[in-house]
C-alpha cells in the first residue's frame, strides 16, 4: 500500500448528494439573503481563476478566522478514484485574502445553481455567511468553508502525502498541480501572499521535477 492509499478514503465512500439534497442545501444557504439586495460570494481557490459565473463587481477581500488548506480529496475533477488529488477548502484559524464577487440580484438564482452543481455535488463544504473586509468596509458574503464530516475531507495528513497527491493526480479538469499553480498565479496577480500555499507549490514543483528526472 502506498502512502497515498493509506490516507485516502475508499472510492466507495464518496457519495454525491441527491438532486433534492443539493437543492435543499442551496435553499438553506440562500435563506439569509434578501432578494433584490446585493449578493456577494467569496472566492479563494478556483473561483478566483475560473469563476464560471456572471458578476458585476469584485474586490480583494480578507476573511478572518479561516485559512486556505488542501484538505478536500478530488476523485473526478482533479484526480481519479484510484489516484485522488487534493483541492482547497477554508480550514479554521488564521485569515485568508481572496476575491469577493457581487452577483446581480436578478441573476442570483441562476448563477448560484451553476456554482452549487460545481462546488457542492459531494457536500464538500459548509457554506457560511461571513464578514469580508474590503479596505475600510465590511461586506457580508457567502463562503465555502471546511466540512469535516464530508466523505472527501482529508484532515491532518502528512505534508509529503499532500505533495504526492497534488504532484501525481489528474482528473476531468486536468492535473491537481495545475489547480495549485493557477491559484498561486492569480494570487500573485492580485498582490496576495499566502506563505503556506507558496511553500506547497515549491515542494510540488520539486516533486514533479524529480519524477521527470527519474
Active-site positions read 119
CA separation for the pair 152, 155 (Å, rounded): 9
Contacts of 178 (CB under 8 A, 6+ apart): 78
Listing DSSP states for the chain in one string gives --HHHHHSPPGGG--PPPHHHHHHHHHHHHTTS-TTS-EEEEESSHHHH---S--SEEEEEEEEEEEEEEEEEESSSSS-SSS-EEEEEEEEEEEEEEEEEEE-GGGHHHHHHHHHHHH-TT--EEEEEEEEEETTEEEEEEEEEE-TTSTTB--S--HHHHHHHHHH-EETTEEHHHHHHHHHHHHHHTT---HHHHHHHHHHHHHHHHHHH-
Amino acid at each position: 500500500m502506498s502512502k497515498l492509499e493509506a490516507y485516502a478514503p475508499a472510492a466507495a465512500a464518496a457519495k454525491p448528494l441527491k438532486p433534492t439534497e443539493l437543492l435543499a442545501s442551496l435553499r438553506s444557504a440562500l435563506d439569509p439573503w434578501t432578494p433584490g439586495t446585493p449578493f456577494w460570494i467569496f472566492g479563494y481557490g478556483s473561483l478566483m481563476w475560473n469563476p464560471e459565473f456572471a458578476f458585476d463587481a469584485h474586490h480583494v477581500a480578507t476573511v478572518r478566522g479561516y485559512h486556505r488548506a488542501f484538505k478536500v480529496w478530488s476523485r473526478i475533477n482533479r484526480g481519479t478514484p484510484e489516484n485522488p488529488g487534493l483541492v482547497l477548502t477554508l480550514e479554521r484559524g488564521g485569515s485568508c485574502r481572496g476575491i469577493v464577487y457581487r452577483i446581480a440580484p436578478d441573476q442570483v438564482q441562476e448563477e448560484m445553481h451553476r456554482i452549487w452543481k460545481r462546488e457542492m455535488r459531494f457536500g464538500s463544504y459548509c457554506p457560511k455567511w461571513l464578514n469580508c473586509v474590503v479596505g475600510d468596509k465590511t461586506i457580508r458574503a457567502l463562503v465555502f468553508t471546511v466540512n469535516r464530516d464530508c466523505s472527501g475531507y482529508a484532515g491532518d495528513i502528512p505534508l509529503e502525502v499532500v505533495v504526492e497527491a497534488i504532484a501525481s493526480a489528474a482528473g476531468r479538469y486536468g492535473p491537481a498541480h495545475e489547480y495549485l499553480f493557477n491559484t498561486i498565479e492569480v494570487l500573485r496577480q492580485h498582490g496576495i501572499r499566502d506563505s503556506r500555499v507558496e511553500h506547497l507549490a515549491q515542494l510540488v514543483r520539486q516533486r514533479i521535477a524529480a519524477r521527470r528526472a527519474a
